[in-house]
Amino acid sequence: MTTTVVIGGNFAGMTAALEIKRKGKEAHKVILIDKSPLFLFIPSLIWVPFGRREIKDISFRKDGILQKKGVDFINAEALKVDPKTQVVYTDKGEFKYDHLVIATGPKVKYDVAPGVAEHAYYVGTPNGAMKIRKALEEFKKDPGPIVVGATQNAGCMGAAYEFLFNIEKWLRDQKIRKKVDLYWITPEDYLGHFGIDGMPLAESMLTGFMKMFNIHFRTQVGVKEMEKDKVILTNGEVLPSKFTMLMPPFIGVDFVTNSPELHANAAGYVPAGDDYRHPDYPNIWTAGIAVNVPLPFTPKTVPFAAPKTGYPSDETGKVVAENIIRVTKGETKLKEKPWGKIPGLCIMDAGKKEVIIVSDKLFKPRSFAIMIPNVIYDFNKILFEKYFLWKTKNGYSFLP
């Protein structure tokens, strides 16, 4: 029997584990190790601060789902791996593997600039989203300027855009919009770059949104420093702020950085080929945010990273699962799907409005790319959320 250990259990890890077991059946023992017993639908966190969702609405226990599908779940923190002895060390013991899948997701670099960790809010965790909800209740009693955006080296600009338009809608709902100067800051070369070198009409569409909603914006800027009531940009400009939500950079988790033999890059991401196999260890694979994805372009002024969202994470989890099955069958031809050639599929919420983003590839050159605004309601975003939660709760990892 082949034993595969999967580290991490959200989009990429959950998909990889379930697909390896589904395809490998009794010939494969699959162990998923994760420090959280919950699966979290991260894209919906942007609704939590505004009361459109509770954490319980977008999370559920994964141990029962995995057990039903024949995957062993270990609720533990993975500490490091020794690729030579093929052992994963955790706070609850050691685990020997034949194949290892690293799907650890990110660690957030809150200390990207002085004062950011102390004074900025972050919507990308359940705790962070609930802290924002509480802060906004206080904010509306005595409103003032707001700064929303992404810092230097950030890659998840899309979620920050979503938060921006949602907070603009919330300010209008609270009847305090006229009392608030709303600022958007981003390291992107231009509005709508998204870390993928833009889409047709993206810049003009988002520039139009900014003007329509009276949002002041700054591109090609990072954060030099933050104080309680101001954000100091890398270009020297000082923006007053009574509430600030920033998207910091993602970096590799401690499991990766504590395992120097993995040869992660400076940001802590694991090297992998187009088949997501480690170049030095043929039985180690990487999926999701943990994958090192080099940019195919050079940012003009301020550095930023490529986006690593749920859809590519899910897709790379499937590729890894298929390739592990092929290897264990003695096949030499592996499936290849470079990150930049994965189709772009995203629905950006814009405060009970939405923009549907579709392309045949994440990175240029592309044969097809389109952005479709829906100014009536964000029902496609809601439908996608309901579908993915249903799919995952039932362990239907094979579905798109």
- Would you call 356 exposed, middle or buried from its count of C-beta atoms within 10 A (0-12, 13-18, 19+)? middle
pLDDT tens digits for range 201-212: 999 999 999 999
In the chain, which residues fall in CATH 3.50.50.60?
2-107+250-339, 108-249
> For position 221, what pLDDT does the model report?
98
In the CATH hierarchy, which fold is given to the domain comprising 2-107+250-339?
FAD/NAD(P)-binding domain (3.50.50)
CA distances from 317 to 7, 10, 14, 350, 398 (A): 12, 10, 8, 29, 10
Beta carbons of 216 and 196 less than 8 angstroms apart? no
> What φ, ψ does residue 189 adopt, rounded to 5°?
-65, -30
Average pLDDT on 388-396 reads 96
CA-to-CA distance for 211 and 54, rounded, in angstroms? 31
Chain Cα centroid distance, residue 116 = 20
In degrees, rounded to 5, the angle at the alpha carbon of residue 380 between the alpha carbons of residues 375 and 383 is 150
> For position 52, what pLDDT does the model report?
97
> For position 309, what pLDDT does the model report?
87
Nearest to 167 by CA among 205, 213, 105, 115: 213
Average pLDDT on 387-398 reads 96
For 211-231, the three-class secondary structure string (H helix, E strand, C coil) is HHCCCEEECCCCEEEEECCEE
- Cross-sheet strand order for the sheet of 78-82: 78-82, 87-90, 93-96
Strands 99-102 and 284-286: parallel
What mean pLDDT value characterizes the chain? 97
pLDDT tens digits for range 241-281: 999 999 999 999 999 999 999 999 999 999 999 999 999 99
pLDDT tens digits for range 20-50: 999 999 999 999 999 999 999 999 999 999 9
pLDDT at 73 over 90: yes
For the chain, the three-class secondary structure string (H helix, E strand, C coil) is CEEEEEECCCHHHHHHHHHHHHHHHHHEEEEEEECCCEEECHHHHHHHHHCCCCHHHHEEECHHHHHHCCCEEEECCEEEEECCCCEEEECCEEEECCEEEECCCCEECHHHCCCHHHHCECCCCHHHHHHHHHHHHHHCCCCCCEEEEECCCCCCHHHHHHHHHHHHHHHHHCCCHHHCCEEEECCCCCCCCCCCCCCCCHHHHHHHHHHHCCCEEECCCCEEEEECCEEEECCCCEEECCEEEEECCEECCHHHHCCHHHCCCCCCCECCCCCCECCCCCCEEECHHHECCCCCCCCCCCCCCCCCCHHHHHHHHHHHHHHHHHHHCCCCCCCCCCHHHCCEEEEEECCCCEEEEEECCCCCCCCCEEEEEECCCCHHHHHHHHHHHHHHHCCCCCCC
Average pLDDT on 141-164 reads 97
Give the position of tokens 């094979």.
398
pLDDT at 343 over 90: yes
> What φ, ψ does residue 41 adopt, rounded to 5°?
-85, 90
> For position 310, what pLDDT does the model report?
87
| CATH architecture of structural domain 108-249 | 3-Layer(bba) Sandwich (3.50)
Beta-bridged to residue 45, according to DSSP, are: none
pLDDT at 375 over 90: no
Sign for the pseudo-dihedral over CA of 226, 108, 361, 264: positive
Q: What percent of the chain has pLDDT over 70?
A: 100
